[in-house]
Structure 1
């Protein structure tokens, strides 16, 4: 059995998957493990939307692609670059065997009258959701799956909410694609000593 060290160091962002489907029970177990992440005040602000139907993934991908195209055209990028970026984004969502939209809800979080503490509470919720995402990705890798964290929903939350008819308090944070890797990927990290201070 793999140790936690091997699971953490072996995880990769996988963008190309084989045709093998991901079982519903497997996805359910991944979400259960994701929900064991620590959270601010133990409020567990994560919300999950399993995109089980291909037509729902395609609708979401198409609407997100349209929003991305409009943004890139506004940025006045070259047309060929726009087409390349939009096509890549659409393919990453629609070609994955499974996908989970991860959202955040402030419904159970504390509220404050002053903006500074309110912003901190919102950030605490976002950090909590990020920890759940990491749990999900590590659990997927431990079960032989690959996953990729896409933060594109942050750039078009209203588009995502409308495409999937989400509750108003479900704030889209990330899209996690899942599947069995088409091939193994290598990766590296800079020495942690370069990013560490001791005091």
Structure 2
């Protein structure tokens, strides 16, 4: 079967599909779009050719126009909407004592997986810890790691405020996972050079998607550092061999509401002078 088919009654031979193809595997002929030699080997399955065709004339063997979400003009963000959306997002560190419904979270995660990845490999894998007792257990492993670091590398412990975090933990305050009902780990195989960037971008998409489902999130930096340095925590999580966790989010229903967006620094820009 050919990699793509063309509806000749719809195709006006405008060449947009060939122009847009990031892998340059489509060429235009007098008869219409055609494949270069070895095209299947170089196709990254991004679907740009299907998405960009204004006539719905282009179909891939794995993707047809009717399988794509249509772009609704009335739903496209204006500059004002984009500013309000992005500036109003807050990192959430106080959560309601309420579990995250699996179906709602998976809808948000499905949106996050629309994030761009290198060559459209879509290599990001997910570990979801959605039992409160397991989140507490993970936080306890991080505290154990901090106790070890405090004894063996006190300067490092001081730089990361570990002593205070340990003291507060012993008093019953969790500043590691913030009493979040759920943790989400993004990891990928070490064989991919883009693994860290792909995980980070996809997690950023997840952060932005969650407020639409009345959920909030915050990066669990201490957990992420510990998982790559503390064997007991790695053993607890059972990540596949030769895979690395590149980011973790705490997720839950925000306990508090925000009524204004604080200022941030202006961009530090330097234009290349040549």
State the TM-score, normalized to the length of structure 2. Answer: 0.59
Q: Distance in 1 between matches of 2:189 and 2:262?
A: 33
Q: Residues 143 and 4 from structure 1, CA distance in 2 versus in 1: closer, same or farther, beyond 3 angstroms?
A: farther
Deviation by residue 1:157-199 (Cα, 9 ceiling, x = unmatched): 244321112211331222211112122345331011xx11223
Rg larger in structure: 2
Q: Quick check: 1:53 aligned with 2:131?
A: yes
Which is further off, 18-27 or 179-188?
179-188
Does the aligned pair in 2 maintain the 1:103–1:173 contact within 8 Å?
A: yes
Match of 1:141 among 211, 217, 226: 211
**Where does structure 1 lack aligned partners over 5 or more consecutive residues?**
110-120
Give 1:83 deviation, angstroms: 4.2
Q: Quick check: 1:156 aligned with 2:227?
A: yes
Q: Which residue of 2 aligns with 1:99?
A: 183
**Where does structure 2 lack aligned partners over 5 or more consecutive residues?**
1-74
Give 1:7 deviation, angstroms: 2.1
Does the aligned pair in 2 maintain the 1:22–1:179 contact within 8 Å?
A: yes
Q: Which residue of 1 aligns with 2:165?
A: 85
Does the aligned pair in 1 maintain the 2:187–2:243 contact within 8 Å?
A: yes
Give 1:90 deviation, angstroms: 4.1
Greater helix content:
1
Q: Residues 9 and 179 from structure 1, CA distance in 2 versus in 1: closer, same or farther, beyond 3 angstroms?
A: same
Q: Quick check: 1:127 aligned with 2:186?
A: no
Q: Distance in 1 between matches of 2:186 and 2:256?
A: 26
Secondary structure in structure 1 of the residue aligned to 2:164 = helix
User: How many residues end up aligned between the 2 structures?
Assistant: 181
Deviation by residue 1:45-100 (Cα, 9 ceiling, x = unmatched): 2111110122321221111210122113323257xx64422346944426112221
Does the aligned pair in 1 maintain the 2:180–2:252 contact within 8 Å?
A: yes
